[in-house]
């Protein structure tokens, strides 16, 4: 879950106090890297309809990793639906921005399982 949360922050999305997608601001003086620090990198648009899922998964991952209990009302982050959907959105965004700029395909740059 932490890796998914990090990827969502990397593309610049978080959930605001009203439950809406918003830009995950880079802290002044921070050495963190975001997608917009790379050639061709653009932050994910919070007004994109897919941003709500990313924001919800970001919140769910944040709370689930802080509170290992079912008693907190955090958004679902199931590994059968929400996490794969969020990762697909992020991978498509990475392909359309930094990988496209580099003339590469994400799938050619990642490890593949041997089936």
Range of the domain at 83: 2-24+33-105
Q: Tens place of pLDDT for every residue, the chain, 115 residues?
A: 678 899 999 999 999 999 999 999 888 888 889 999 999 999 999 999 999 999 999 998 887 666 555 555 666 666 678 888 999 999 999 999 999 999 999 988 887 666 6
In a domain, 113, yes or no: no
CA 103 to chain CA mean position, Å: 22
In a domain, 111, yes or no: no
In a domain, 12, yes or no: yes
In a domain, 112, yes or no: no
Does the reported pTM lie above 0.75?
yes
In a domain, 41, yes or no: yes
In a domain, 115, yes or no: no
In a domain, 63, yes or no: yes
Cα–Cα distance, 55 to 94 (Å, whole number): 17
Structural domain count, the chain: 1
In a domain, 114, yes or no: no
């Amino acid at each position: 879950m932490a890796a998914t949360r990090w990827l969502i922050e990397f593309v610049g999305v978080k959930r605001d106090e009203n439950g809406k997608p918003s830009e995950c601001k880079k802290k002044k003086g921070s050495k963190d890297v975001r997608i917009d620090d790379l050639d061709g990198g653009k932050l994910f648009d919070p007004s994109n309809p897919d941003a709500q899922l990313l924001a919800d998964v970001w919140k769910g991952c944040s709370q689930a990793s802080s509170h290992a209990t079912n008693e907190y009302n955090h958004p679902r982050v199931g590994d059968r639906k929400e996490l794969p959907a969020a990762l697909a959105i992020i991978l498509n965004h990475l392909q359309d921005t930094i990988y496209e700029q580099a003339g590469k395909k994400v799938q050619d740059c990642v490890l593949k399982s041997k089936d």
